[in-house]
Amino acid sequence: MYLSSQKEKQLSKEFLNNGYVIKKVCNQKDLNKIKKIFENFLKMKLKINKNNNLLFDQFHKIIKKKNLNSLRLDLISYINKDNQFKSLYYNICRDYLDALVGNELVMQNNINLSIQLPRDGDSLLPLHSDVWSGDSPYEIVVWLPLVDCYRTKSMYILQPKDYKFLISRIKKNNIKDGDKLFKSVEKKVKWLKVNYGEVLIFNQSLPHGNRVNKETSTRWSMNCRFKSVFSPYGDKKFGEFFKPITLKPMSEIGMNYILPNIDRDEKN
């Protein structure tokens, strides 16, 4: 897939206006490989033999709530040990990142995983902006579902046009609690519908979060941050939190260059 100049402009305009884009993944085969990795791990770990729909959408019928977080952490550890998995993840959104961020990127060291069971009140992120807690405003988030996500089974975002409204409410009422913040803008947030086979890329400077999953099936989604290698960093630094993935040769040369200690007045 190649994004023409016109398509890049359209993509950029959509992203700037909405604060996000939802697009078909760049490589469906790589997405299927990602899901297969999860499937094989779950069948091995839980010693079950279920088809995909039961295994993911109906996961709440398989796992006990008390065992969920332990399994989730095991899965996170498993997928992040494999650099090939990270390559698959990058490949599903590569063309969009080229257009929105650039082609010399760093990628978050660890891909995150969210598993949200129906009616589960323990897997919630209150309304927040990542930048408020030290992330760089130059970072972008790639949010990838393994199931169809909609309404409360998905996430919400406050779009750019409504951001100033939230800031004014915070200043006026001195609101600091995430739940109170959400209630102050509940009618303005945009719930995002992202199907399996699609990827959500959003501006993590904008307030976002999730609520109790009131749908009848389980949510599976991953998220990972990317940014331009030469853009400013926040609290999460190069080499500590981010790893370069697409450096060009001259950038590697420049970053590794050491100026020799030579007397410049010395004659040849």
Residue 171: what pLDDT?
Answer: 67
pLDDT at 237: 92
pLDDT value for 174: 64
pLDDT in tens, 31-75: 999 999 999 999 999 988 766 667 999 999 999 999 999 999 999
Q: Which alpha helices (H) appear in the chain, and where do they start and end?
A: 5-18, 28-46, 52-56, 65-80, 83-91, 94-100, 160-173, 178-185, 249-256
The mean pLDDT value for 197-213 works out to 96
Residue 230: CB atoms within 10 A of its CB come to: 13
Residues 141 and 135: their CA atoms lie apart, in Å, by: 11
Q: What is the pLDDT of residues 146-179, one digit of tens each?
A: 999 999 999 999 999 998 878 777 766 666 666 7
Q: In terms of CATH architecture, what is 10-238?
A: Sandwich (2.60)
pLDDT score of 109:
95
Give dist(CA 224, CA 242) in Å, integer.
Answer: 10
* Residue among 25, 57, 29, 27 nearest 42 (CA): 57
Q: Report long-range pairs for 42-48 (Cβ below 8 Å, ≥24 apart).
A: 45/71, 45/74, 46/71
CA distance linking residue 232 with residue 205, whole number of Å: 14
DSSP secondary structure letters along 149-178? B-GGGS-EE--HHHHHHHHHHHHHHT---H
Query: Mean per-residue pLDDT for 75-89?
Result: 95
Tokens encoding 81: 């040990």
Higher pLDDT, 208 or 174: 208
Confidence band of 119 (pLDDT split at 50, 70, 90)? very high
Res. 89 pLDDT band, cuts 50 70 90? very high
Query: How confident is the model over 117-141, as a mean pLDDT?
Result: 91
Secondary structure class of 67 (helix, strand, coil): helix
Q: If we measure between CA atoms, which residue out of 103, 137, 96, 138 comes closest to residue 11?
A: 96
Q: How many CB atoms lie within 10 A of CB 165?
A: 13
Report whether pLDDT(2) > 60: no
pLDDT at 176: 64
Read off the tokens for 120: 């589960």
Q: Is the dihedral of CA 97, 99, 100, 103 positive or negative?
A: positive
Single pTM value for the model: 0.90
C-alpha distance from residue 195 to each of 109, 198, 215 (Å): 26, 5, 15
Instruction: Specify the pLDDT at position 263.
Output: 67
CA angle at residue 93 from 91 to 99, to 5 degrees? 120
Tokens representing 73 are 């952490």
Query: For residue 3, is pLDDT > 90?
Result: no
